[in-house]
Amino acid sequence: MRSTPRIPSPFSSFCFKLLLLCVRAPFFLFPPKRWSAELANRRQYLAYLVALSEDVQSTRRRVLELQRAYQTCLAELQGMVGEKASVPKEHVYPKFEATAVRIGYEFIQGHKQQR
C-alpha cells in the first residue's frame, strides 16, 4: 500500500484535498508526455505552499509576542492608575509613550527580519 506524504500540520484539510485532487487528476487531462512537467509543477506548488505556511506561522508567533508585550504594558499602566480619580500626567504620559515606542519598535524590527 502506498502511503500519502506527510504534510506539515499548518495546512488546512481543504488545501491538502485540493493538492491531492490536482495530483490525482484524471488520466485524460494530462497525457503521459506531460507527466514529468506536471509533477515538477506540483512539487513547485507544494514548495510554495510550505514556504507560505511557514511565513504565516512565523507572523502569527510574532503577532502573539507583540500582543503579550502590549498586554503587559497595559497591565503596568492599570496598576499605576488603579482606581484613582486623577493621576498626574507626568507619571502616565511617559508610560504611554514608552509603550507606543516599544511596541512600534518591536513591530518594525520583526518586519525587517522577515524580509
How many CA atoms lie less than 13 Å away from 35 in the CB half-sphere?
Answer: 8
Grid coordinates representing 57 are 506561522
Residues in the chain: 115
Tens of pLDDT, residue by residue over 63-114, are 898 888 888 888 888 888 888 888 888 878 888 888 878 777 777 776 666 6
70 vs 101: CA distance, rounded Å: 11
Its pTM stands at 0.54
pLDDT tens-digit profile of 21-73? Answer: 666 656 556 566 777 788 889 999 999 999 999 999 988 998 898 888 888 88
Gap between the Cα atoms of 49 and 35, Å rounded: 21
- What pLDDT is recorded for position 15? 65
